[in-house]
Amino acid sequence: MASQTPESQALLANRNSSVALTAYDGKVGVAMGKYVYTTPNESFIPCPVLGSRTIAVRNDYRYGPDDHTLWPQPYSETFPHLGAIPRRPQDPQNPLSAMWYDPIDTDFVPVHKGGIAKGLGKLSSTLLNNRFAPLVSAVQIRFQAYIAQIPDEKPEKKFVSSIERALHYSYSRLISLPTTWHHIRFTVAEVQRYYLELVGFLDYMEIFKPRMDGLQPPSGSVAQTIGVFTNKTRIVEEFMAAGLPVWYMRPVDSNFGSNVLSVVEPLQYFGVLVTKVHSAFPVLFDAKKYISTGDVVGLIHTFSRKWISAPDPFEDIGDAVAQSDAPKVASQPSSSRSTGPPPRKKFKTTDSMLSRGSSSSSAKPVTQANTSRDKFELLQGPMVPFTIPAWVDALRSVDQSLPPAISQPKRGGYYAFPDPGLFIAPESDKRRQQLIEQYCRIEDAWMHRSSTKSGSSLTNQQWRDLLTVDLTQPVPSLTPAPNETKAAARRREALRLLFTPLDEVNRISHAPNRTSRYYSTNEWFDSGMLPPVENIRLLLFKL
């Protein structure tokens, strides 16, 4: 019980334990600042988040006191179901406690595909199958039954469907996508948050709202849910009838006449929730101004859905290419398809020709030298994936006679992945095998880099340089060597692009890969042997 301050004594002035409490009375109450907080159905009062707000991902990959699945928020007309979100069970053996579980290192199962990437993996199947799968499956079945009886024009149908889809996609990512421990921790928190919000919504609509609307009798007990703060008497009345925790906020008034049975100290979230901001994430909101609960939830939803994405490899040149070492795209001989426009004819003119008003027929066109194949011709050979007619027609219909309508993109001619033609062009199977095996060895590392770094794209020459480094041997130094050849400098630069330093959870091994086998398209092949043609087709089709 709180100390008997003048404010506390004023709250207890009308104390009467022999009468039933109304929605405006308090089992407990407290005066904080200029406001009085009471609750008609709970035994504690959580400390509200007041003043300057910093909304950000915390070290447990949740959002601290701003997380609507962890701490009561002010009532929101947009998200009235937040108060019905389940509260963390005190019993750790309760199956629902999985939705507050913080994964530990042993829950991470590395995925080594015979490549050189370390730190990529999945969440353990034991945790997924035994703890998460039963809960997710049950709530999805319940969701399907709920929406089956809601007319399409009801706005809540669209909203709850979006929450269920977000849960579905996040959970599917945990099952299927190998990624870093950092990304897995974030996705686990996503699954937990969307699950709890979906359960809260269904409980609100199916259990609690009928009580609020008088369709079911009022509850005689209080549910173990998050609850809400409110300054609206109607919300206090509805939540008390529904049996949902509610905390009523009113200005301090000397004429306070409600019946408060006890005064307590507010429950602080410090020491209960993780509050330290995670350094790997941007701050979502940081200002000394009011922000509504609906806006906070919207920020979290938006960030949660957009954060895990592969950066656009063409949007940021950054340090992806050392311009002094990068070859000029237009002059590169290449056997593979380019993303830029086909070579254009250039005309040589002089001032004297212009002054004479010479016609274009008097100037002989000079065609730019180009030894590469026609980029719009289909790849040929027994290893080429089977063609798709629509793609063939699209390539043939490209008008190559007109100049580009816009300037060349700043990363035109760069490839996020090696062109399939690079693996088909060699005349010898041995050379083809070396290129394919090399790509399979670096695929994990490159996919990992592409998912965490914008501007991850290379020219055809850089891909060739990267695929000629023998990674069955110790990785060469990335430091320039005295008197190194131009070819060696290009290979070193290509390795630097692959081995860009990342944070500790995005580890890339520089150690030699001495495995006798390598991975591609879900198949394992003997190192040094050309894979079967059908498997090469699968690899090239994926590229």
* pLDDT tens readout for residues 227-285: 999 999 999 999 999 999 999 999 987 678 899 999 999 999 998 999 999 998 999 99
The listed range with the strongest mean pLDDT (36-40, 324-328, 335-339, 526-530) is 36-40
**Cα–Cα nearest to 14, from 255, 239, 226, 186:** 255
Predicted confidence band at 532 (pLDDT cuts at 50, 70, 90)?
confident
CA 206 centroid distance within chain = 31
pLDDT surpasses 70 at 316:
no
pLDDT in tens, 274-287: 999 999 899 999 88
Residue 181 Cα distances to 121, 191, 321, angstroms: 7, 15, 28
Query: Do the beta carbons of residue 71 and residue 49 sit within 8 Å?
Result: yes
Q: Quick one: average pLDDT of 98-126?
A: 82
Q: pLDDT for 68-87, tens place per residue?
A: 999 999 999 999 999 999 99
Bridge-based pairing of strands 246-251 and 35-39 is antiparallel
What is the reported pLDDT for 515?
39
Q: Which residue has the higher pLDDT, 352 or 452?
A: 452
Place of tokens 């301050």: 5
| pLDDT band per the 50, 70, 90 thresholds, residue 305 | confident
- The pLDDT assigned to 104 comes to 92
What does the pLDDT read at residue 503?
A: 36
Q: What integer pLDDT is reported at residue 507 of this predicted model?
A: 36
Q: Give the CA distances from residue 508 to residues 96, 112, 490, 503, in Å, rounded to whole numbers and listed in that order.
A: 36, 12, 21, 10
Output the pLDDT for position 241: 97
| Rounded mean pLDDT, 286-303 | 90
User: From the CB of residue 315, how many other CB atoms can be counted at a distance below 10 Å?
Assistant: 13
pLDDT at 498 over 50: yes
So what's the pLDDT on residue 344?
39
What does the mean pLDDT of the chain come to? 79
Give me 228's structure tokens.
């809400």
